[in-house]
Amino acid sequence: MIRLLLAFLALLLPSALAAQGVVSSADPRATQAGQEILRQGGSAADAAMAMMLALTVVEPQSSGIGGGGFFVHHDAATGLTDTVDGREKAPMAATPERFLRADGTPIPWPDRYPGGLSVGVPGNIRLMERVHARWGKLPWAALFQPAIRLADQGFEVTRPLAGISAWGVKQWEDFPEIARLYTDDGRPLRQGQRIRNPALADLLRDIAKDGPDAFYTGETAREIVEAVAEAPMNRADMTLADLAAYEAKDRPAVCSRYREYKLCGMGPPSSGATTVFQILGMLERFDMKALGKDSPEAWHLIAEAMMLAYADREKYLGDRDFVPVPVAGLLDPGYMAKRSKLIGRKTSLASYDAGTPPGAEPRTAAVQPDVPGTTHFVAVDGEGDVVSMTSTVEGPFGSQLVARGLVLNNELTDFTAAPELNGAPVANRVQPGKRPLSSMSPTIVYDADNRPILALGSAGGKRIIMHVAKTLIGVLDWGLPAEAAIALPNIYFAGEAVQVEAGTPLAERLPELARFGRTVIASDLGSKVNAVERTADGWRGAADPRGIGTSLEQ
Q: What was the pLDDT predicted at 363? A: 81
Q: What was the pLDDT predicted at 20? A: 79
Asked if the bond preceding 14 is cis, omega within 30° of 0, the reply is: no
414 is annotated as contributing to ligand binding = yes
Cα angle 494, 276, 265; round to 5:
140
87 is annotated as contributing to ligand binding = yes
Q: Is 81 a catalytic residue?
A: no
Q: Of residues 31, 274, 374, 443, which has the active-site annotation? A: 374
Residues of the chain with pLDDT under 70: 1-19, 367-372
| Structural domains of the chain sorted by starting position, each given as residue range(s) with its CATH number in brackets | 29-247+404-419 (no CATH), 254-344+363-370+438-548 (1.10.246.130)
Secondary structure class of 192 (helix, strand, coil) = coil
CA 190 – CA 149 distance, rounded (Å): 21
Q: What was the pLDDT predicted at 10? A: 37
Which one, of 94, 175, 63, lies nearest residue 401 by Cα? 175
Given 3-state DSSP classes, what are the helix, strand and coil percentages for the chain, each rounded to the nearest 5? 40, 20, 40
Burial class (CB in 10 A: 0-12, 13-18, 19+), 154: middle
Which one, of 381, 379, 382, 380, lies nearest residue 17 by Cα? 382
pLDDT in tens, 292-311: 999 999 999 999 999 999 99
Q: What was the pLDDT predicted at 424? A: 82
CA 214 – CA 394 distance, rounded (Å): 24
Mind giving me the DSSP string for 142-184? Answer: GGGHHHHHHHHH-EEPPHHHHHHHHHHHTTGGG-HHHHHHHEE
The H or E element containing residue 406 is strand 406-407
Q: What was the pLDDT predicted at 364? A: 78
List the beta bridge partners of residue 458. Answer: 529
Pairing of strands 491-494, 261-265: unpaired
415: Cβ contacts below 8 Å, ≥ 6 apart: 90, 98, 99, 368, 428, 429, 430, 434, 436, 437
